[in-house]
A and B are shown apart, each in its own frame.
Chain A
Amino acid sequence: MCNKKTLYLVGVFLFFNAMYLIGSEVSKTPPAQEVAVSAELQEKFPLKNHHAKLSLKCADCHEGQGDEPENFQMIGDEGCLSCHKSKQYLADRLKFMDVLHVNPHNSIHDGQRLYCDECHFEHQKSENMCLNCHSNDVKIWMKDTP
């Protein structure tokens, strides 16, 4: 008797649990996760190699921005830093460049104040802002901007 009752209770518990899981699947998944990345879309909004390797999906960066890539907004510094920690961390990573005063993340002109997307672009070629004035020195200082 006791066993039957226990079994019954466990059964009911599992049933509701499963219902809850299915329900949550339906209501909690943002539709953007489902953006099918067509070849056309991929060509229009290519990812940087290092991000593609991680199999990042649209909504990993464009969180809560719907499912229409054309309407996605820029994610700003906050978006980048949600993975890349902080500007201080990024400046420290290139600290060895401080010796020659050429650390782009802690430059003599701007300190740590620059927007990430002053130089780094995800869906197009990045552009090193230092080149605006130091066209001939940058190649001595650093590699292409990732």
Chain B
Amino acid sequence: MKQETVSRRDALKLGALGLAGAMMAATNAMAAAPKETEVKFDEEYDVIVIGSGFAGLAAASKAAERGLKVLILEKMGRVGGNSVINGGAFAVPNNRDQQQFGIKDSADLFIKDALKAGLGINHVEMLEVIGKRAQETFDFAVKCGAKFQTGKKPTWFGGHSVARTIVTENMSGSAIIQPMAAFVEKLPGCKLMTRTKFDDFVMSADGESVVGVAARENYRFNKKLLSDDMENTGGTKKFFKARKGVILASGGFSMDKVYRKLQDPRIAEDQDATNHDGATAGAMLKAFQIGALPVHIDWIQQGPWASPDERGFGVAPLLTQQGLFVLGVAVDVRNGKRFMNEMADRKTRADAEYVILREDPKANPVAIGTEKTFAPQIAHAVEKGLQTGVMKKFDTLDALAANYKIPAAALKETIKVYNETAMAGKEDEFKKQTLKNLKEAPIDMKGPFYAIRLQPKPHHTMGGVKINTKAQVISGNTGKPIPGLFAAGEVTGGTHGASRLGSCAIADCLVFGMVAGENV
């Protein structure tokens, strides 16, 4: 094998970082969470929420609606983290639009779908809460000002056995985030502080309960650092008291260059993700430090539909999922052969791409298809993909092969066999489900041919702290809830098991955010 799990160079780098951190920062390797007897609180609130994404704002909105004084801390300059760059799709099992359009759904069917994608390791009691309370949560979001496209047939997302997803008015999570932030800020005694970084939980004198937080104001996240959490010493220290509790809603760690690589060494430090730069593990690690139980930490969901030829989520996921993957092929550029079922689940495909990329990090596989593979509703994206250069168009397979340095004869043979197998109505070697009952070749040999290079990108970290159905964080020391500490959203683990279905992130974050806001 080329790489050791943690190479010696990495170990040295981490060691050096730790040393520099210990010298520069206020924190050091052995520091425990401060106790209230050791600090002087600058401000006092009923509830402190860490993070301003879906989970944080749902928690804050619910708590504020109950009349509590809420402070939201957001380390970035932007409000909303990943939620504000998210696509705004919310799976609402058994919703009113489904009933209107005669779609039969139930909480049980939703749980069955989630368990299948999650390989059965999901914490079912959490899914039950989502299944039961999604419609009510949806109504709460609307009450806070969120805008959705309703009165329409719901959207059908991959892995769901029925159409149950409702999309926001502007097809972005911002249609939930912006009004919810405004909803909280309008209420008396509530405040949202950006560029304010949570550093530590402040514990009661006996060390048993969370009674506040230590944070830094005027903090500037620095994406150039290997680990902003460990290295950035900027900002002014402040202590905030939380009379009723602290709600951790700090999100996942798909952009934590150090921590994600420790969990999955296939993810290089410089590898792009679909997430915003601030999606790091720091706040979650502080919860572990005071005893929170970790669950499923190394299950990092990666999008096999992304491209190295653009940053972030981009336009490729649309063009591959609703295009090239459906009727086209993905090939290994070194031998022109297929290597996976292009319509398998996210994990299976990402793993298959990594087998190639571990052997040669530059040999990104290429997805190939023709005009007819694209769903009609993504016509605008086809233009955009070509215009921005993420997707390329070739008149002949020879030109395509030459561009990506694929052996041309082998590529043609692959496509010939693929077409013939599909036309004969036989199952192909990877058991692709979309080739059934085709009356013509899935790849139209007349061309033109469209192609996109592939690169898995970290998308959602399945793991996190363990919470119960009341969003209380469970302690590994006592097996009971840590008094004063709640959590919701991507920072929690277990709910989705091995792999989360599309459009279930908003459902999870808003439902459990609301639950945390009710129980704090």
Give residues in A with beta carbon < 8 Å to B: 108-111, 113-115, 117-118, 131-137, 140
Which B residues touch A114, using CB under 8 A? 77-78
- Asked if B388 lies at the interface with its beta carbon under 8 angstroms from chain A, I say yes
Asked if A136 and B390 make an inter-chain contact with CB atoms under 8 angstroms apart, the answer reads yes
Of B79, B194, B311, which contacts A133 at CB under 8 A? B311
Asked if B276 and A132 make an inter-chain contact with CB atoms under 8 angstroms apart, the answer reads yes
Known: A109-B78, A109-B85, A135-B311. 14 other contacts (CB 8 A): A108-B170, A108-B172, A115-B77, A132-B276, A133-B311, A133-B314, A134-B312, A134-B314, A135-B312, A135-B314, A136-B314, A136-B315, A136-B388, A137-B388
Which B residues touch A134, using CB under 8 A? 311-312, 314
Which B residues touch A140, using CB under 8 A? 387-388
Chain B 58-101 near chain A by CB (<8 Å), digits 1 or 0 = 00000000000000000001111000110000000000000000
Asked if A136 and B310 make an inter-chain contact with CB atoms under 8 angstroms apart, the answer reads yes
Asked if A111 and B178 make an inter-chain contact with CB atoms under 8 angstroms apart, the answer reads yes
Asked if A118 and B388 make an inter-chain contact with CB atoms under 8 angstroms apart, the answer reads no
For residue B84, give the distance in angstroms from its CB to the closest CB of chain A.
5
Asked if A109 and B389 make an inter-chain contact with CB atoms under 8 angstroms apart, the answer reads no
Which A residues touch B195, using CB under 8 A? 115
Asked if A110 and B310 make an inter-chain contact with CB atoms under 8 angstroms apart, the answer reads no
- Asked if B313 lies at the interface with its beta carbon under 8 angstroms from chain A, I say yes
For residue B221, give the distance in angstroms from its CB to the closest CB of chain A.
11
Which A residues touch B309, using CB under 8 A? 136
Query: Known contacts A109-B85, A113-B79, A118-B78; is A133 also within 8 Å of B388 by CB?
Result: no
Query: Known contacts A131-B311, A135-B310, A136-B310; is A110 also within 8 Å of B84 by CB?
Result: yes
Q: How far is the CA of A110 from the CA of B79 in the complex (A)?
A: 8
Asked if A109 and B174 make an inter-chain contact with CB atoms under 8 angstroms apart, the answer reads yes
> Which chain A residue lies CB-closest to B276?
A132
Asked if A110 and B78 make an inter-chain contact with CB atoms under 8 angstroms apart, the answer reads yes
Q: Interface on chain B toward A: helix, strand, loop, or mixed SS?
A: loop
> Which chain A residue lies CB-closest to B195?
A115
- Asked if B384 lies at the interface with its beta carbon under 8 angstroms from chain A, I say yes
Which A residues touch B508, using CB under 8 A? none
For residue B277, give the distance in angstroms from its CB to the closest CB of chain A.
7
> Which chain B residue lies CB-closest to A137?
B388
For residue B341, give the distance in angstroms from its CB to the closest CB of chain A.
28
Which A residues touch B277, using CB under 8 A? 132
Q: How far is the CA of A114 from the CA of B309 in the complex (A)?
A: 27
For residue A108, give the distance in angstroms from its CB to the closest CB of chain B.
6
Asked if B77 and A133 make an inter-chain contact with CB atoms under 8 angstroms apart, the answer reads no
26 chain-A/chain-B pairs, Cβ below 8 angstroms: A109-B78, A109-B172, A109-B174, A110-B78, A110-B174, A110-B178, A111-B178, A113-B78, A113-B79, A113-B178, A114-B77, A115-B194, A117-B77, A132-B311, A133-B85, A133-B311, A134-B311, A134-B314, A135-B311, A135-B314, A136-B309, A136-B310, A136-B314, A136-B315, A136-B388, A136-B390
Which A residues touch B84, using CB under 8 A? 109-110
For residue A112, give the distance in angstroms from its CB to the closest CB of chain B.
10
Which B residues touch A131, using CB under 8 A? 311
What is the interface residue range for chain B against chain A?
20 to 34
Q: How far is the CA of A33 from the CA of B194 in the complex (A)?
A: 32
Q: How far is the CA of A74 from the CA of B384 in the complex (A)?
A: 38
Greatest chain B CB density within 10 A among A110, A118, A134, A136 is at A136
Greatest chain A CB density within 10 A among B79, B195, B309 is at B79
Which A residues touch B311, using CB under 8 A? 131-135
For residue A75, give the distance in angstroms from its CB to the closest CB of chain B.
13
Which A residues touch B390, using CB under 8 A? 136
Q: How far is the CA of A131 from the CA of B312 in the complex (A)?
A: 9
Q: How far is the CA of A114 from the CA of B178 in the complex (A)?
A: 12
Q: How far is the CA of A86 from the CA of B495 in the complex (A)?
A: 44
Chain B 260-295 near chain A by CB (<8 Å), digits 1 or 0 = 000000000000000011000000000000000000
Which B residues touch A132, using CB under 8 A? 276-277, 311-312
Which A residues touch B77, using CB under 8 A? 114-115, 117-118
Chain B 387-405 near chain A by CB (<8 Å), digits 1 or 0 = 1111000000000000000
Asked if B389 and A108 make an inter-chain contact with CB atoms under 8 angstroms apart, the answer reads no
Which B residues touch A113, using CB under 8 A? 78-79, 178
Q: How far is the CA of A114 from the CA of B194 in the complex (A)?
A: 10
Q: How far is the CA of A102 from the CA of B390 in the complex (A)?
A: 20
Q: How far is the CA of A30 from the CA of B37 in the complex (A)?
A: 44
Q: Which of B166-202 contact A (CB under 8 A)?
A: 170, 172, 174, 178, 194-195
Q: How far is the CA of A137 from the CA of B315 in the complex (A)?
A: 10
Which A residues touch B79, using CB under 8 A? 110, 113
For residue A124, give the distance in angstroms from its CB to the closest CB of chain B.
12
> Which chain A residue lies CB-closest to B385?
A136
For residue B85, give the distance in angstroms from its CB to the closest CB of chain A.
6
Which B residues touch A110, using CB under 8 A? 78-80, 84, 174, 178
Q: How far is the CA of A135 from the CA of B313 in the complex (A)?
A: 10
Which B residues touch A111, using CB under 8 A? 174, 178
Which A residues touch B80, using CB under 8 A? 109-110
For residue A138, give the distance in angstroms from its CB to the closest CB of chain B.
9
Which A residues touch B170, using CB under 8 A? 108
Which A residues touch B384, using CB under 8 A? 137
> Which chain B residue lies CB-closest to A116?
B77
Q: How far is the CA of A86 from the CA of B388 in the complex (A)?
A: 33
> Which chain A residue lies CB-closest to B223?
A132
For residue B17, give the distance in angstroms from its CB to the closest CB of chain A.
24
For residue A22, give the distance in angstroms from its CB to the closest CB of chain B.
40
Asked if A108 and B388 make an inter-chain contact with CB atoms under 8 angstroms apart, the answer reads no
Q: How far is the CA of A69 from the CA of B51 in the complex (A)?
A: 34
Which B residues touch A135, using CB under 8 A? 310-312, 314
For residue A127, give the distance in angstroms from its CB to the closest CB of chain B.
10
Which A residues touch B174, using CB under 8 A? 108-111
For residue B515, give the distance in angstroms from its CB to the closest CB of chain A.
27
Q: How far is the CA of A132 from the CA of B388 in the complex (A)?
A: 15
